[in-house]
Amino acid sequence: MPRHPFLHGTYTIAPTPFLPTGELDRASLTTMVDMLVGLGVQGITMLGVMGEVDKLGDAERDVIIDDVISAAAGRVKICIGTSHVATDRCVALSKRAAELGADALMVAPPRLAKPNDAALRSHYQRVADAVTIPIVVQDHPISSGVLMSVEFLANLARDVPRCNYLKLEEEPTPAKTTRMRAAAPDMVIFGGMGANMLLEELRHGADGCMTGFGFSEILVAICNQWAAGDVDGATQTFYQACPLIRYENQPGINLAIRKYIYMQRGAIAHAHVRAPSSPLPADVIADLHDIVTRLGLIHHFKGAHA
């Protein structure tokens, strides 16, 4: 039995599809959701760091949320990123996502001029007071610039129960997972970071993962095998996928690689990353094709012959 039947297992951080002109590709939102549901994920997280959220306007956010929730049609849970450096804006974005039907929210801490646990707590408390759905606290110092201690997160979960969900991405993640599990035994903990340390995170007490990867069914298999007690099977599946996990997760081009994989799999029509961005170099694409061929995954690509 999952620690929390509502939020557990594999949530994939999905990209935002665009047309080559830079406009939203609404048709691809539907095909992407259908593919991810078919791959067995428990949930889809939109408008995260890898969703190019900083390049979207409020009206575009509404369209994405509405289209994704409509396409999911209750088949999987939908988590929406509503992070903002201003508490009032974060509250407004969170209320709007909840109004549109989001099942959960993902909220990173606001960057502060000086570390201040009281201000961080107030930020999360105000968001929690404004909605009635779970809030996944995103602990990703690389993007937020904010370090949250185990003690702070455990106290927040205790005092603001809606925040008893953590996307743990402060490296080294396995060590912090161990400390978090000891400090907050009932907390729902998701691994992230492109699944680089997923196996170790599960071993140290994580409940699943909330991260992006071009082959989400592999992460589903790992989490399902682990939950079923098949440690050897989960280990073998993870080790086999490590070359692709490592290659996709290259800083600076990981989103472009993921979008290329999604396009090749037919989930989205175009791999366009909204400007400013650069197309993937031909040698990166060639290396990627070599890896998926050697892993026996090339038959998932359009026009490929296994």
Q: Check if 95 is active-site.
A: no
Say which residue the tokens 């929730």 belong to.
Answer: 69
Q: Is 300 helix (H, G, I), strand (E, B) or coil?
A: helix
Residue of 55, 114, 167, 302 marked active site: 167
Say which residue the tokens 């939102």 belong to.
Answer: 29
For 269, residues 6+ apart whose C-beta sits below 8 A from its C-beta are: 17, 19, 25, 27, 28, 31, 263
**Residues forming a β-bridge with 210:** 11
**Residues forming a β-bridge with 188:** 165
Q: Please state, in angstroms and rounded to a whole number, the distance separating the CA atoms of residues 243 and 80.
A: 29
Q: Please state, in angstroms and rounded to a whole number, the distance separating the CA atoms of residues 1 and 24.
A: 39
**Closest to 181 measured CA to CA, from 146, 148, 157, 212:** 157
3-state helix, strand, coil in the chain (%, to 5): 50, 10, 35
> What amino acid positions are annotated as catalytic residues?
167
